[in-house]
Amino acid sequence: MTDRIEQLADQMTLDEQVAILSGEDFWSVPAIDRLGIGKLRVTDGPNGARGGGSLIGGVKSASFPVGIALGATWNIDLLKQVGVALADEVKSKGAHMLLAPTVNIHRSVTNGRNFECYSEDPILTAELASAYIAGLQSQGIGATIKHFAGNESEIERTTISSEIDERSLREIYLVPFEWAVKKAGTWGVMSSYNKLNGTFTSEHNWLLTTVLRDEWGYDGIVMSDWFGSHSTAETVNAGLDLEMPGPTRDRGNKLIDAVNAGTVSRATLRRRVVDMLTLMQRVGSLDDHRDFVEHANDRPEHRALIRRAGAEAAVLLKNNGILPLKGDGTIAVIGPNAKTAQIMGGGSAQLNAHYRISPWQGLINALGQERLRYAPGCTNHRFEPLLRGDLQVAYFDNERLEGAPVHIGTQEEAQAFWIGHVAEGKVDPMHFSARITGSFTPEVSGTHRVGIYAAGFAKVFVDGELIADAWTNWTKGRTFFEEGCDEVVGTVELQAGRAHQVVIEFATKDFATLGLAAFAAGIGLPLGDQAIAEAAALAATAETAIVCIGRSGEWDTEGSDLPSITLPGRQNELVAAIARANPNTIVVLQTGGPVEMDWIGSVAALLQAWYPGQEAGNAIADVLTGAAEPTGRLPQTFPARWSDNPTQSQDAEIYPGLDGKVRYEEGIFVGYRHYDRHGIKPLFPFGFGLGYTDFTLSDLQVDDTAFEADGAVTVTVTLTNSGARDGASVVQLYVCDDEASDPRPEKELKAFAKAWLKAGQSTQLTLRLDARAFAFFRPQSKHWLLENGSFTLRLGQSSDDLPLSASVTRATTLMLPV
């Protein structure tokens, strides 16, 4: 704390102190003009910087690979480079902080937000998050690591209580946050929506003060997730510095009254104020009095980084020698994700990308269009395809579509996400109605499906007839962060080439937690057996078939968990049909996590490409053609069946939750720890990935001279590229406690290193373990315990491929502080 911060805190009136502890609007904290204190601005991340616009549209931004894709790189240096680049993006949007990274653990395989998080493993997540934060903050932009803590599912996430024992918290779920504080020095932490063991995290004194500040020594700020504050005195006293967004719900006059009544002390208030002023000084907003301007900076160096990171994220899961692509024969490019660029997941991570490269376009760029043939085969959308075109929007300053419109606007697509400033400020954003008018001209005659879902009331009329009604019997569903209804679908006969009038009526409704109004409407024509048959016929005439399948941000999204890990629609049928027609079938899978694959034995190759950002198609083509080496490794175990995953249970309280609770019954046995414990063979293990070259490990050496004294061990190993191509491998070191007094996993990842080697080259890698790498947490005595006895170190290239091992032994126990 500087003298200037102390002086400013003392010079502020009570009203001014309270003012900077809550948002002024959706993205900023107010300036205090009297004292020359500038406005603090934040922007959503973590795979870009959206700026102050809505989730839909707005100033364009660079779209980077999503969290699970970056997790698959296992590349600490790359994550730091991404952090540095994202700092540029934040600055282009006139902001000072990025709401990122997201580090919640992949507890279940169906969490809708797994795509945004790095891994199922706390050490892999912590290493990558720390590098990302270091890169970001090296450029003066604040990180806001989230969501602290226990937000491992999107079901009832704003109200549910995550029931997690302290040992599991300490060993699994808190580790990335602890490293972010102790190793990366993060300037911001965001509390989660959920309760933790019965108390909202935004007012959880043990979490925000005892652990975060007292034990870890955190000196940054804690902000609420948007509308995640639920009280006044309780949040301030527990350690929540900033309520977001504004206008405030819980602070302002309520906090002034609490201070005057003595329920919040002046000393506590001052601590919160000093935290905020310190942050403002760190990020430069204290003296930032510039006009707020956003820019769409499409930087060549960011394009190149995104393409390289997207390719490095791709995990080659199977290859019968067909990749990299060879020859000059025809290639059938098939599937719902072939001509659609699936670049990101859904929710607050969405942004308006500078551009989107589809796999089809990426292959054209790499190979030329002459060799390529295309067929869709089937669809995989969750909602009917969005209606696009020239749409007129009439806004009414009431919720009944009555009177003359107060504003007329236009849109290019039938969706809106209204927050804050609506209709140029001419309506109350929570109390208005709108009529959207446009047309739809189908390419094919037939029975079309018309869908609508909304956080509000909505209807769709086609040629004057009500087709889809999400108004009359509106029911809360799993859209728009659980503020919206599920899609309501009706059918209508439409004629090819005819412009059919479409009218959408919308009105706001009371919200549950998040103050927003939104809708999306679409029209689609289902694809049937003929489309699969046509795709198979095309594949039969080609030398190679590339099937682009998976999900999209409609499925992998904040606010909604997946219903299963079965591929949506008829994609499994499509892959099976293509594989029967052509033995040289390559599957490119784009999802935010695992799927069941009954067809895996019948395809020649499988590439998991995730959502790799705006350069998606180019990155995928780079790997398929061999222009880039596949060096990604799985950051999440892929089970053979959904029922194999750690949260599968007959007890609904374990997952998805029951009566307001979700119980983490599996404790520390998440991810590969679960599969090891139960002897379940996964489809693909944690850390697995193939390449276009081969690597061998040899000459394992262990220096345990300091193990007895302080628990430190140094491991060296020789990695050799024994193949014919340059490439990279990830060396993974797991620790096994041979005889523990408390139940422990069979093995735990504690260190890793990624190395790039030319063909035939060798290098010696050094991996260091500290005492915590061998210890487990004892909740009864509140310390980490490194027991006496032997520990086995296992080293290899995946959790299921650990050919080298060594043993270290201690004669005494060692207790470590929290």
The verdict on 538 and 519 lying in the same domain is no
CA dist 223 and 240 (Å) reads: 6
CA distances from 248 to 189, 227, 255, 391, 451 (A): 19, 9, 10, 34, 35
Residue 809 in domain: yes
Instruction: Single out the catalytic residue among 15, 88, 121, 225.
Output: 225
Of 431-445, 504-518, 665-679, the one with minimum mean pLDDT is: 504-518
In 199-290, which residue ranges form alpha helices assigned H by DSSP?
205, 233-238, 253-261, 266-283
- The model's pLDDT over 298-329, given as tens digits with 9 standing for 90+, comes to 999 999 999 999 999 999 999 999 999 999 99
For 243-252, the pLDDT digits (tens) are 999 999 999 9
Under 8 Å between Cβ of 197 and 203: no
- First vs last Cα of the chain: how many Å apart? 25
Q: Does residue 737 fall inside a structural domain?
A: yes
pLDDT of 58 above 90: no
Query: Do 337 and 464 lie in a common domain?
Result: no
Q: Find all residues with CB under 8 Å of 429, minimum gap 6, and list them.
A: 418, 419, 420, 421, 422, 515, 517
- Listed residues 524, 543, 560: the one ending a domain: 524
225 assigned to active site: yes
Tell me: pLDDT of 361 over 70.
yes
pLDDT tens-digit map of 559-577: 999 999 999 999 999 999 9
Tokens of 232: 């006044």
pLDDT in tens, 162-196: 999 999 999 999 999 999 999 999 999 999 999 99
Measured distance CA(182)–CA(810) in Å, rounded:
27
Q: Is residue 505 part of a domain?
A: yes
Do 233 and 127 sit in the same domain of this protein?
yes
Beta bridge partners, 798, equal 801
Co-location of 439 and 513 in the same domain = yes
pLDDT at 358 over 90: yes
**CB of 49 within 8 A of CB of 106?**
no
Percent pLDDT > 90 in the chain is 96
3-state secondary structure 110-123: CCCCHHHCCCCCHH
Instruction: Please state, in angstroms and rounded to a whole number, the distance separating the CA atoms of residues 291 and 277.
Output: 20
Q: Are residues 26 and 153 in the same domain?
A: yes
Work out the mean pLDDT of the chain and round it to a whole number: 96
Three-class HEC string of 555-598: CCECCECCCCCCCCCCHHHHHHHHHHHCCCEEEEEECCCCCCCC
CA-based max dimension of the chain:
84
CATH code for position 548: 3.40.50.1700
**Domain final residue pick, 475, 491, 524:** 524
Which of 631, 655, 687 is at the close of a domain? Answer: 631
- Does residue 637 lie within any of the structural domains? no
**CB atoms closer than 10 angstroms to residue 778:** 16
Segment 746-756 mean pLDDT:
98
**Does pLDDT of 588 surpass 70?**
yes
Residues 604 and 704 in one domain: no
**Among residues 629, 539, 553, which one has the least CA distance to residue 340?**
553
Burial class (CB in 10 A: 0-12, 13-18, 19+), 806: middle
User: Do 202 and 336 belong to one domain?
Assistant: no
| Residues 541, 517 share a domain | no
Provide the pLDDT confidence category of residue 14 given band limits of 50, 70 and 90: very high
**Predicted local distance difference test score (pLDDT) of residue 441:** 97
Mean pLDDT in residue range 212-240: 98
In a domain? residue 561: yes
Question: pTM value?
Answer: 0.95
60 lies in the same domain as 187: yes
Structure tokens given for 180: 């972010």
In a domain, 293, yes or no: no
362 and 399 inside one domain: no
Q: Which CATH number belongs to the domain containing residue 165 in this structure?
A: 3.20.20.300
| pLDDT for residue 55 is more than 90 | no
Residues 6+ apart with CB under 8 A from 440: 387, 389, 462, 494, 499, 500, 502, 523
- Please report the pLDDT score of residue 514 as a whole number: 82
- Domain of residue 776 covers 695-816
In this structure, what DSSP letter does residue 715 have? E
Q: What are phi and psi of 452, to 5 degrees?
A: -145, 135
Domain containing 504 — which CATH number? Answer: 2.60.120.260
pLDDT tens digits, 118-132: 999 999 999 999 999
Report CA torsion sign: 355, 358, 362, 368: negative
CATH classification at residue 798: 2.60.40.10
Residue 1 binned pLDDT confidence (cut-offs 50, 70, 90): low
Residue 306 domain-assigned? no
Q: What is the mean pLDDT of residues 280-286?
A: 97
Total structural domains within the chain: 4
Question: Which pLDDT tens digit goes with each residue over 688-734?
Answer: 999 999 999 999 999 999 999 999 999 999 999 999 999 999 999 99
DSSP string for 382-416: SSPPBPEEEEEEEEESSSS--SS-SEEEEEEESEE
d(CA 118, CA 124): 8
Whether residue 254 lies inside any domain: the answer is yes
User: What pLDDT, on a 0 to 100 scale, did the predictor assign at position 511?
Assistant: 85
Question: Does pLDDT of 141 surpass 90?
Answer: yes
Which strands make up the sheet holding 544-550, listed edge to edge?
Answer: 315-319, 605-608, 585-590, 544-550, 331-334, 372-375
pLDDT exceeds 90 at position 513: no
Q: Kindly indicate the confidence band of residue 53, based on its pLDDT and cuts at 50, 70 and 90.
A: confident
Its sign, for the CA torsion 700, 703, 704, 710, is negative
- Residue 359 buriedness (CB in 10 A; 0-12 / 13-18 / 19+): buried
Residues 214, 105 share a domain? yes
Q: Tell me, yes or no, whether 714 and 732 share the same domain.
A: yes
